[in-house]
Amino acid sequence: MEIVVLTMKASVIEMFLVLLVTGIHSNKETTKKVKRPKFTVPQINCDVKAGKIINPEFVVKCPAGCQDPRYHVYGTDIYASYSSVCGAAVHSGVLDNSGGKILVRKVAGQSGYKGSYSNGVQSLSLPRWRESFIVSEAKPQKGVTYPSALTYSSSKSPAAKAGETTKAYQKPSVPGTTAQPVTLIRVLRTTTAEATHTTTLSKPSPSAGSSTSSPRPQPMGQRSQELELWSTTVYTSSPSSAGTNPGETDLWKPGSVLLNAGFVPKEELSTQSSEPVSQGDPSCKIDLSFLIDGSASIGKRRFRIQKQFLADVAQALHIGPAGPLMGVVQYGDNPATHFNLKTHVSSRDLKTAIEKITQRGGLSNVGRAISFVTKNFFSKVNGNRGGAPNVAVVIVDGWPTDKVEEASRLARESGINIFFITIEGAVENEKQYVIEPNFANKAVCRTNGFYSLNVQSWFSLHKTVQPLVKRVCDTERLACSKTCFNSADIGFVIDGSSSVGTSNFRTVLQFVANLSKEFEISDTDTRIGAVQYTYEQRLEFGFDDYNTKPDILNAIKRVGYWSGGTSTGAAINYALEQLFKKSKPNKRKLMILITDGRSYDDVRIPAMVAHHKGVITYAIGVAWAAQDELEVIATHPAKDHSFFVDEFDNLYKSVPKIIQNICTEFNSQPRN
C-alpha cells in the first residue's frame, strides 16, 4: 500500500511539474506575442470641421490642397469649431498647402471671432460660437495618449473618404453596467415640446440618412421652436443594482449634450450653402481694373501664378458694393475685358471667375491696353460709381512691346491712378531690347515709388499682395483721382455795372453756367461760388451753399442784375475775403473775373495779393475792357489766363479754350 501511495504521489508531482513547465512556456510565448500597439496618425480630409470630432485633443494628418477657399475658416489663432481643421492649420501657418501633421486641442467657445487674411487663406468673422480649437505643430506631449482613430459625432464619418478607421462614441460606463449602442435617428421638424416628451425611437427608414445642402453657421442666441437632430449614438445601461429597467433608453437632451458633441440646432444652420453677401470694406471704396499679361512670353505656369495672385488680392480686398469693386482686362496683341466692375460683387464669385480665365497669347502691348481701359472700362455702363477713385493695376512680365507714355498721360488726365507691377524686369544686357526705357515711371500716376512695385521673380509675386492692397486702399494718396474737373474751388467775379445792361448780363450768366457745366460738382469735388460787383460788392452764393450741378445752375439763373459803377480792384479784395478765405486747403483756387470796362480803382495791388495767396486768376474782357488791365489781373503767363471778346454774344466761344487751359495747367504739375 505504501509503495502504491508513494507511486501515485510521484505521478502527481510529475504531472504538476509538467503542467508548471508548460504554463511557464505558454506565458513566455504569450508575452512574446503581445506587442504594444503602434500609434498611427489618423488622416482627415480638408472639409472636416473640428465640431464633428468629439475627441478633446488629437493629432491628425491633413492632405495637400487645404488652402482652397471652399474650406471655410472662422477666426484667427483661436478658431470656431465650425471651421475646417486643415484650413485653420494653413491659415495659422502651422501647415502650408502641401499638408502634414498637426496637433488640435479643443477650447471654450468665444464671444466673437475676427476674420483675417493669412498664408493664402481668408478666414471669416463670426459673432460667437459654442466651441473653439487651436492648432499647433504635431509634437505630442509626454505621457499623453492620442487616439489612433477619431470619434465622430455622426455615424457617417466624413473621413471615410480618406480610408480612416472610425469608431462610435462610447459613453463612459458606470461600474456594474454594460454599455449597449442604440442609434438615434435623424428627426426632422421636431418641436421642442415633442423632443422633450419623446421616449421611444423607431428604426430609421432608408430615407432618414438622405443628405441636405451644406449648412453655414449662424450666431447663437436666437432659439426657434424647430430642432433638427442629426444621427448619433446613445446608450442604454444594463443595470446590476440600479433601479433602471433593462432596455430603457437614456436619451440625450437636445441642446445640451448634442451641442457639446458638435451638433448644430436648425436655427443655427441654413439650408443654403452660400455665404452671406458681403457689402465690402467701406474704408477701401475704389473702382479697380487689373490689366493682366496674357502674352505668349509669359508661359502657362507663370500665367497660373498671375491668376492666383489676382485671386489672393480679390480675397484680401473684401469685394462688395459698399467697398472695392474689381474687373479684369487681359492684354496681348489686343486687350479684352473678361469682366467689368459690376459683373461680380463678392470676393468669392470673383475668385471663381478668375480661375476660368484662359491665356490669350500674342505680344505685350501695354500702351494699347491702357488706352482701352481709359476709353472703355471706367464708364457708368460698366459699373463705374463716379464717387469712387479709379485705379488701374498693370502687371508686366519683363517689358512692354509698345510705348506707354502717351496712353498713360491720357489715363492720368482722366483721373485714373495707374500702378505698375513689373516682374523679372530687364537686366543690364537686356535693356537694349526695351522699346521705351524707364517705361514704368512714364506710366504711373506719380514717380515717388508709391505706384511702382518691382518683383524679382514670379515665385515672389505672392509677397506683393498685402503691399499692393494697402496702397490701392489708401485713397488719400491716390493723387490721380484729382483731375482738373473735380479738384477746384472756382469763384466767379461778375461785373454788374450800368454799362453791361440787363440783356447782356443774362448772356454773362449763361457764360458762367456753360463753364460750370464742365466740372464735377459736389461738396468733395469742384465747388462754385459767385460775387457780383459795381461800386459795391455782393456775395451771390458761397462755396458751401450748393453742392450739386443742378442747384448751382439754378443759383446762377437766379442772380439779379445790380447796375452801378466799376470798382474791379475792390471786387478782387472782396472775393479773396468772402470766397477764397473759406476755400479748402486741398483745392486749387480759381478766380474767373468777367468785366466790360476799365476799373475806377487800382487793380494792381489786389491782383498781386491774389497771386501771392495762390489764387489762379483768369481775366475775361468784353467790348470796352482794357486789355492791359486784363493782363495785370491775370496770372502769369497772361496769354494763357486773359481772354478778350468784342461782343457779349461771342463769350460762349471762349469756353473750350478756357477749360483747355485750366486742364493743361493742372496736368503740367510735377509728378513726383
pLDDT for 277 = 58
pLDDT tens digit string along 329-362? 999 999 999 999 999 999 999 999 999 999 998 8
Phi, psi (5° rounding) for residue 23?
A: -65, -40
pLDDT tens digit string along 127-186? 667 789 999 998 877 778 888 899 988 544 444 444 443 443 343 333 333 333 333 333
pTM higher than 0.85 for the full model? Answer: no
Report helix angle 299-317 to 465-472, nearest 10: 50
215 confidence band (pLDDT: 50, 70, 90): very low
Distance CA 436, CA 400 (A): 8
pLDDT tens digit string along 520-534? 898 878 999 999 999
pLDDT tens digit string along 554-563? 999 999 999 9
pLDDT for 167 = 40
Angstrom distances, CA of residue 505 to CA of 110, 500, 577: 71, 6, 24
Under 8 Å CB-to-CB from 368, ≥6 apart: which residues? 331, 334, 335, 402, 407
Average pLDDT (281-293) is 95
DSSP 271: S
Q: Is the pLDDT of residue 478 over 70?
A: yes
Q: Is the pLDDT of residue 369 over 90?
A: yes
Higher pLDDT, 211 or 607: 607
pLDDT for 36 = 54
Average pLDDT (497-507) is 96
pLDDT for 14 = 60
Cell digits for 651? 463769350
pLDDT for 4 = 44
Distance CA 523, CA 519 (A): 12
pLDDT for 353 = 95
pLDDT tens digit string along 65-101? 999 988 999 889 999 898 999 999 999 999 999 999 9
Cis peptide bond upstream of 172, omega within 30: no
Phi, psi (5° rounding) for residue 447?
A: -100, 30
pLDDT tens digit string along 416-466? 999 999 999 888 888 888 889 999 999 998 888 999 999 999 999 999 999
Beta strands in 82-209 (DSSP E): 100-108, 117-118, 121-122, 131-137, 179-184, 187-191
Higher pLDDT, 481 or 341: 341
Distance CA 482, CA 452 (A): 19
pLDDT for 144 = 81
17 confidence band (pLDDT: 50, 70, 90): low
In degrees, to the nearest 5, what angle opens at C-alpha 278 toward C-alphas 274 and 279? 150
What is the C-alpha end-to-end distance of the chain, expressed in Å? 128
Mean of the per-residue pLDDT values of the chain = 80
